[in-house]
A and B are shown apart, each in its own frame.
Chain A
C-alpha cells in the first residue's frame, strides 16, 4: 500500500478509500480517487503513496485523548504506543498530486476559547505493544519530577512533520512527553523503529508546552 507504485492499470485500496489507475495510452495514465482526476504522463518515478501527518484542513497539532489516563511515578519512564489518525499524500516525483483524509475526521479546541489552537482530535487507548492500526505513534512518558503525574491527553506538533512507513503501516516520529510542571511534548523526528522508511527529511520541530 505505502511506497512506490508502477503507473499501470490497477486498484489501490487505502483503508476506506480507493485509488484507480487507468492506462489511457502507451504513455499516459489517469489517476482517479473519488472526484479527483489527474492525467499523468508515464515516468520511471512512478507514483508514491505516502502517509502524512493528520493536519486535515490545515491544523498544526494533533490532540490524542487517552481513553484511560496513565499515572507515572516520580523519576520513572513509561513507553508505549497510541493509535493515531493519518492523512494520505500521493506524489509523482516531488509533486503532490492528491492529498486526502482517511478514517474518522474530528477536530477540537486545545486551550481557552480566546487563545487556544484547533487540533485534529483522536481518542486512543495506551498500549504497551504496538496496536494493529494503520496509524501508530510511539510515545515515551518521562516524569523527572518528585511527584506522581497523570496524563489524560497528548498534544503533538505535527505541522510539516516527517512520517515513517512500512508497506502496510504508518508511524509518527517518536514522541517524548516530559511531565515537568508544564507538560512538554517533543516530536523528536526520529523513527520509532530503525527499519522504517522516512517520507522526507525535515527540520526538528520546536517542543510544545501543554499549558492547558
Chain B
C-alpha cells in the first residue's frame, strides 16, 4: 500500500509544470471512461432508433452528438484534473474558455439539427417561407449562444469594451488597409454563404478547376491543367460562381444532326438503347431524346441525360463516342453541312473556246 502511494505520488516535472503520476492516471481514466460511456450511449441510441416512434429525436445524428459531448467532456475533465484549466489568461481561466467553446459547439450542433428537422418535417419540398424561418431560428440560437458563451468564458463584462475597441479598430483598418479588410470580410461572408467547399470543382468567370484551399484573404483553385490560381476573396465574392458538383446529379445536353433521308424514329431508338446500356446515364430522371429542330443540313436530335455530378465529364465523352458508333453501325448518317442552291432563271454556261470549235 505504502509502495503504491509512493509510486502514485511520483512527481513528473516538465519545464513549465509538474504533475504526480496518480493525477495523470486519473486524468487518462476520466478520458477513457468518458469515451467508453459515449460509445455505449451512441450504440444504445442507434439501436433505439430502429424501434422508436420519435425518429427525429432518437437517431444516428443524436448518437453522434452525445458521443462528441462525452469525448469533449472527457478531454476538459482530464485537463481540469491535470490542472491546466486553472491557468489564467486575460482575466479568465483556460477552463472557462474551454467550457465556453464546448458550449458554443454543442449549441451549434443542436441548432443545425433543429433547423434540418424543421425543414424535413415539412415534407418533400419545404416552402421558401419555412426555409427563411428555419434560418432565422438557426442564427438566433447561434447569436444567443455566442453571447452566453462569452459570459461563460468570463469575458462578458468586457464585451462593451471589446465591441467599442473593435469599432475603432475597424475604422482605422478601413482607412489604412481597405483591400485587405475587404478581402477578409468577403472571406467571412463566403464562409457563411458557402457557395463552394474545398474539393468542389467550380467555374468562376472564365476560370475552372478544383477548390484547393480557402484562406482568410484569398481562395486557391487548382485549374484542370494543374496550375494554381489565387483569387482574392473580394473578387470571388463579386463573381458568378458556378459549383459543378453541389448537387448529386448533373444534366448532359448533346445535339446530334442526322441526314434528312434517315429514319428519325429508328435513330431515336438507337440512341435510347445506347443510353440504356451506359451504367452511369441515370435511369431516373429518365433521359430525353427528341427531335429539336429541322436544321439547314440535318434533323437535329437533342439528348438530355442525367449523370452523377462527379462522373459528368467521363459520361459526356463516353456518350458522344458511343452514340456516334451506334449511329454508324445502324447506317444512320451524320451529314456534313450542305446547301442546295436554286436559280430563278435558267443558267447558261459559256464554255471557253466553244465558238472557235463551232467555226
Contacts and interface: CB of A to CB of B under 8 A. Distances in A.
Interface of A: 56-57, 63, 104-118, 121, 184, 186, 203-204, 206-207, 209, 211-212
A211 B124 CA distance: 6
Interface in B130-176: none
A211 B248 contact: no
Contacts of A117: 248
Interface in B24-66: 43, 46-47, 49-50, 55, 59-60
Contact of B283 (A121, A203, A212): A121
A206 B248 contact: no
A207 B280 CA distance: 27
Nearest to A153: B284
Contacts of B279: 56, 104-107
Nearest to B311: A57
A206 B60 contact: yes
A111 to B, nearest CB: 8
Contact of A107 (B47, B59, B283): B283
A212 B124 CA distance: 6
Contact of B46 (A114, A184, A203, A209): A203
Contacts of A114: 247
Interface string B306-317: 101001000000
B259 interface: no
Contact of A204 (B47, B55, B59, B247): B47
Given A57-B311, A203-B43, 10 more contacts: A105-B279, A106-B279, A109-B282, A115-B248, A116-B249, A204-B46, A206-B46, A206-B49, A207-B55, A211-B123
Contacts of B125: 112
A145 to B, nearest CB: 13
B50 A204 contact: yes
A206 B49 CA distance: 7
A184 B56 CA distance: 13
Interface residues of B, number: 24
Contacts of B282: 107-109, 118, 121
B50 A113 contact: no
B285 interface: yes
A102 B76 CA distance: 51
Contacts of B204: none
A57 B311 CA distance: 10
Contacts of B249: 109, 113, 116, 118
B288 interface: no
B311 A108 contact: no
A207 B285 contact: no
Contacts of A106: 279, 283
Contacts of B86: none
B120 interface: yes
Given A56-B279, A113-B248, A212-B124, A107 B308 contact: yes
Contacts of B55: 184, 207, 209
A209 to B, nearest CB: 7
Nearest to B119: A115
Interface string B109-127: 0000000000010011100
5 contacts: A104-B279, A106-B279, A113-B247, A121-B282, A209-B55
B283 A206 contact: no
A186 B280 contact: no
